[in-house]
Structure 1
Amino acid sequence: MGSLFVWLAIDALSLGGSILWLRRRLSFLHPAFYYLFFHLYVITIPAWQVYLGGSVMYEGMSGYMAIRPDEFARAIAYADLALVMFSIGTLLGPRIAFAWKARPRGTGYVLSGRLTVLLLAILLPFSLYFFAARRSGLGAGSLLVASGYGTTFALWLFACLIVGLFRFGFRWFLVAPLAILLPIVGLQGYLRFSFVLTLLFVASVYVYRTRRRWPPVWAWPVAIAIVLLFPQMKYIGKAVQEDDLSGAARRVEQALFLAPPDTELIIEKQMLDPYAGALTLADGLGKRYFGRTYLPLLTFPIPRFLWPHKPGFGDHVIAMATRSRPYDREGRTITYIAEAYLNFGIAGVILVPLVFGVVLSRAYRIFRSGPPGRVGQLFYLSIMVSLIQAYRDGLNSIVVFGIIHMFPIVIAWALHVMTQRGKCKFSLAQARQ
């Protein structure tokens, strides 16, 4: 473990240096904040847990290959490299994008109150039907309700309410439905990510509307509690559904460190382990995908009941799985870094974060430009919130969680383009830092 300590020291320097480097730009709505949180939560903290004697994935399991110290060391090194490249891209992005004199070329649409009411009047009942049908099981016989489309339409309910919050503020008739429906989603184990992302989105809208740089002090203990509860949420939800309230309470105590956690929790919360093992599995394939992992986005709109064997987002994970590391059966996620390595090798670890930093910093510059209340700003917040999922699962998640699940925002933009309501032009040179 001596060499691992060296890489932990380098990781601390990389993370601390990036924070100092980006400190003037950092805010709750800046893309660098989400990346730094991802690195801390997925790489730094689990790496220290491993070094201090924490459990390792597959350790002590007959027929399985535990993650080795050298694999952890390489995973940390690649993650640090990606962090540095993302930081460089974030700093260079505005300079590259605006190297010439900016002219009034930005075009946007301030969200119209009338169009927002029209959108909510149509989509709220539509999405509420699918939410209720999937929750009650009344529509289980319908292919549309039972399919992935049914889940997507049900989640549009939260997107509609967030559009309302963005336009009209935190009115009781918008906050109350969220307060009632979000706990229901949170206790559905497979939808826990939607629960967290929706909370992040609501918090982002609040920070934006109140013109804050960070959420208020009282919100941080709530955020920490959610971070601690997240790995246990599917177990808590399962216990509640089985009327095992004592079991649910025990899981909450474990999440808040009031009781020792079960082994299954320890293994699951360490997302570093699957990522470290995935780098070795990618080498074992003996080939590069060169972007083919992103092609399932083209077939995503086709329902699986019409094409049962259509390409899936996790096909590359299935291909790399082995008997000693059965990622396919376990549904492991490998992070966007391992995905970039699988696609382009070490060049992917360098270039993908660099390009990502440039693009996202440019998007933030546009977000801070022009008049407030634009549809484009709401869309930016949607993409920013989905980054946490994308860094963990792969870049396809930006489209799935940031666009498909938030499609009412796209519909709102289309309505404004067609009617030309709220159209405005602005200069990108006037961005508010």
Structure 2
Amino acid sequence: MSLADAILLDSIVWPLCGALLVLGKRLTATHPASMYLIFHVLVFSSRSWGLVGGADRFMQMTDAEAVRALVMADVLLAVLTASWLLPAPARWDERPASVKPMNPSVFLAVSIVALPIGLYFLATNTYTAGSGLQDRAISTSYEIFAITWPGLVLLAAVYLYGFRWYLVGPLAAYLLFMGLQGEGRFRLILPSILVAQIYLDRKGRKLPDLRVLVLLGALVVAFPGLDALGESYRTGTLSTSSVVKTLTESFGDLSGGTTSDQQIFDQFAVSLTLSDELGHPQYGRHFVDLLALPIPRPLWPDKPATNEHLIAISTVHRPLAEVGTVFTLPGELYTDWRWPGVVILGFALGRFLLWIYHRAYTLGYGSVGHFVYLLLAAFFVQTFRDGLSTLPIFLLVENAPLMAMALISLHWKQPKPEGHGLAPGYAAWLRSRA
């Protein structure tokens, strides 16, 4: 099959899958299918068109490798679509007798601990306008993750109490500041997705309205250019004209499939070849390496790296580990389990995501289950990009304060029916949403 034929096949597969999901009334703003379709089109489909247009290729990726990767991506999309179109069992929508709500008292207790720590690292490990391009010395990743804690506390407050001006204002300022750091773009993108999901669920909307579409569209366009904007901010050269120029170039590169972020398709394609050259599947061994993740490296200098699976397939001519290659979800499934992983585990993953989606909305807004699901839904795009191994890192490390709020609320004594112990008006609002 030629690359042109593979692109033609892809141009049939993803619109067909999208149409079936729409007709099956599966697509909502927080349904896993919505995010995966967007991811597939922006990364796999648009990049393949960019290759035809002569875009530079990652590590001399060949047409044959690109064709194989695109076909594999289409197979996984078809498998996931089938898993989402199958009816959900009735028991998935059975509401339990008691539902654990997110407890505002727990939120306050965790915030008292997390907020001062987060503000300290936010002040000592971020860049201000004109601070220059020098890198800060980071001894442990905990310093990096703690930077996000002030934003996470504000996100939890918005979830509990709504879009009050005294919450939205600081949150917007925080996200803007994170977007101008020039690194860690997930600190802007993922919280913004979560904000949009909270807004839609509080409004009772299944599909985005115009304001949410504008917000998400702006994030998609700005994402490739955030590094350049951050560099301008740190060098003190940020201006209206530089912002307009960067965003215009970002939009052109994105639509042409030539951004460095879209090259993860090439990385996915190359990793398939190197995985075959390794001679055997890796059987998910890199998940075991995550057990050592909580231990700071200064305490265990030789602890296993989280990219051992990359090191295993890297070669002198294609040093994937050195450049921080990502597999994407289909690449990870194939590298670990070959085609049975793409088809069988892909289908099982789709059903699992559908199950947690149904359970979250059966429990209702304000419940622990719904809150944790929105965290996952905001992170879906990163999971599809970097693989399933990122999930425990995201939940337990990057979102430690929010998961602490959820887990403590889950084991907190059930409040009385009249809402004793909850914030004023919160219990009545929960009942109205239910």
CA distance in 1: counterparts of 2:92 and 2:169, whole angstroms:
47
Q: 1:251 aligns with which of 233, 246, 249?
A: 246
CA distance in 1: counterparts of 2:177 and 2:216, whole angstroms:
18
CA distance in 2: counterparts of 1:18 and 1:216, whole angstroms:
23
CA distance in 2: counterparts of 1:335 and 1:360, whole angstroms:
17
Taking the TM superposition and a 5 Å limit, the aligned residue runs for 1:322-337 are 322-337=315-330
User: How far is 1:112 from its partner?
Assistant: 2.8
Which shifted more, 11-20 or 274-283?
11-20
Taking the TM superposition and a 5 Å limit, the aligned residue runs for 1:37-116 are 37-58=38-59, 66-92=60-86, 94-95=88-89, 98=90, 105=96, 107-116=98-107
Change (3 A) 1:88 1:268: closer
User: How far is 1:131 from its partner?
Assistant: 1.7
2:6 equivalent in structure 1: 7
CA distance in 1: counterparts of 2:57 and 2:307, whole angstroms:
23
Which shifted more, 149-158 or 40-49?
149-158
Change (3 A) 1:315 1:148: same
2:125 equivalent in structure 1: 134
1:413 equivalent in structure 2: 406
1:232 equivalent in structure 2: 225
User: How far is 1:380 from its partner?
Assistant: 0.3
Deviations along 1:313-369, one digit per CA (max 9) or x if unpaired, are: 222112222232222222121212111111111111112321110101001111111
Change (3 A) 1:101 1:373: closer
1:304 equivalent in structure 2: 297
CA distance in 2: counterparts of 1:93 and 1:312, whole angstroms:
41
Taking the TM superposition and a 5 Å limit, the aligned residue runs for 1:221-370 are 221-245=214-238, 248-249=242-243, 250-257=245-252, 266-370=259-363
CA distance in 2: counterparts of 1:264 and 1:220, whole angstroms:
21
User: How far is 1:374 from its partner?
Assistant: 0.8
CA distance in 2: counterparts of 1:287 and 1:106, whole angstroms:
48
Q: What stretches of structure 1 of length at least 5 have no aligned partner?
A: 59-65, 425-431
Q: Is the 8 A contact 1:282 1:342 kept in 2?
A: yes
User: How far is 1:163 from its partner?
Assistant: 0.9
User: How far is 1:93 from its partner?
Assistant: 6.7
CA distance in 2: counterparts of 1:34 and 1:264, whole angstroms:
19
2:372 equivalent in structure 1: 379
User: How far is 1:238 from its partner?
Assistant: 1.8
Percentage identity across aligned positions?
Answer: 28
CA distance in 1: counterparts of 2:304 and 2:324, whole angstroms:
16
CA distance in 2: counterparts of 1:29 and 1:410, whole angstroms:
19
SS across alignment from 1:347: helix
CA distance in 2: counterparts of 1:299 and 1:319, whole angstroms:
18
2:28 equivalent in structure 1: 27
User: How far is 1:402 from its partner?
Assistant: 3.5
SS across alignment from 2:86: helix
SS across alignment from 2:99: strand
CA distance in 2: counterparts of 1:70 and 1:417, whole angstroms:
50
Q: Is the 8 A contact 2:127 2:234 kept in 1?
A: no
Q: Is the 8 A contact 2:126 2:181 kept in 1?
A: no
Change (3 A) 1:135 1:146: farther
CA distance in 2: counterparts of 1:104 and 1:265, whole angstroms:
47
CA distance in 1: counterparts of 2:44 and 2:106, whole angstroms:
44
Deviations along 1:95-136, one digit per CA (max 9) or x if unpaired, are: 3xx4x6976547531223333333333322232222222227
CA distance in 2: counterparts of 1:103 and 1:222, whole angstroms:
34
Q: Is the 8 A contact 1:82 1:349 kept in 2?
A: yes
CA distance in 1: counterparts of 2:390 and 2:163, whole angstroms:
28
Change (3 A) 1:121 1:279: same
Q: Is the 8 A contact 2:118 2:146 kept in 1?
A: yes
Q: Is the 8 A contact 1:192 1:233 kept in 2?
A: yes
Taking the TM superposition and a 5 Å limit, the aligned residue runs for 1:179-190 are 179-190=172-183
1:62 equivalent in structure 2: none
CA RMSD between the two structures: 2.7
- 1:20 partner amino acid: A
Q: TM-score, normalised by structure 2?
A: 0.86
Change (3 A) 1:17 1:403: farther
Q: Is the 8 A contact 2:267 2:325 kept in 1?
A: yes
Q: Is the 8 A contact 2:272 2:334 kept in 1?
A: yes
Which shifted more, 76-85 or 107-116?
107-116
User: How far is 1:278 from its partner?
Assistant: 1.0
Which shifted more, 45-54 or 78-87?
45-54
Say how many residue pairs are matched. Answer: 406
Q: Is the 8 A contact 1:313 1:396 kept in 2?
A: no
1:63 equivalent in structure 2: none
Q: Is the 8 A contact 1:235 1:248 kept in 2?
A: no
Deviations along 1:190-240, one digit per CA (max 9) or x if unpaired, are: 210121001111111111111111222133233222212212211221232
Change (3 A) 1:134 1:227: same
